[in-house]
Amino acid sequence: MDNESAIRRISEFINSIWQVHPFREGNTRTIAVFLIQYLNHLGFSVNNEPFKEGSLYFRNALVRANYYNMDERIQPTSEYLEKFLTTVLSGDTVKDLDSWEMAVSIGENKEKDEYEADR
């Protein structure tokens, strides 16, 4: 299996676990720890640093992979989760990933400054 296919499958797997929300508190943190262990088991060398630096992006990528709005014709996409994993596995810094790119517009358009203020 090539890296792109592996990342897609890992994204789908991790997203499926996150969807269930098996823990009362700390689902995203627990999923991150599980994912680190899983990736290391698969032979990758991953630590907590990219998940710490990119925690907001990782969480938003999981949300975006599950967000569906029929009225607005918005479909879930794992594109951002795959982008996060690609960045982590390549050893690049996740600091350059921007959650703004996965924001969706519903009704009134929201400017980036308003989005940043709401964070």
pLDDT digits (tens), the chain, 119 positions? 788 999 999 999 999 999 988 777 899 999 999 999 999 999 999 999 999 999 999 999 999 999 998 888 889 999 999 999 999 999 888 888 998 888 887 665 455 555 555 55
- 90-109 burial: b if 16+ Cβ within 10 Å, else e: eeeebeebebeebeeeeeee
Interacting residues of 110 by C-beta distance below 8 A, sequence separation 6+: 103
For tokens 């921007």, the residue is: 98
Beta bridge partners, 74, equal 69
- The token duo for 27 is 């689902």
Domain ranges of the chain: 3-118
Report if pTM > 0.85. no
Distance, in Å, from the CA atom of 45 to the CA atom of 67, rounded to the nearest integer, reads: 30
DSSP, collapsed to helix, strand or coil, labels residue 96 as helix
Beta-carbon count within 10 A of 118 CB: 7
Q: Are 95 and 50 in contact (CB under 8 A)?
A: no
Q: Which two tokens stand for residue 108?
A: 């009134």
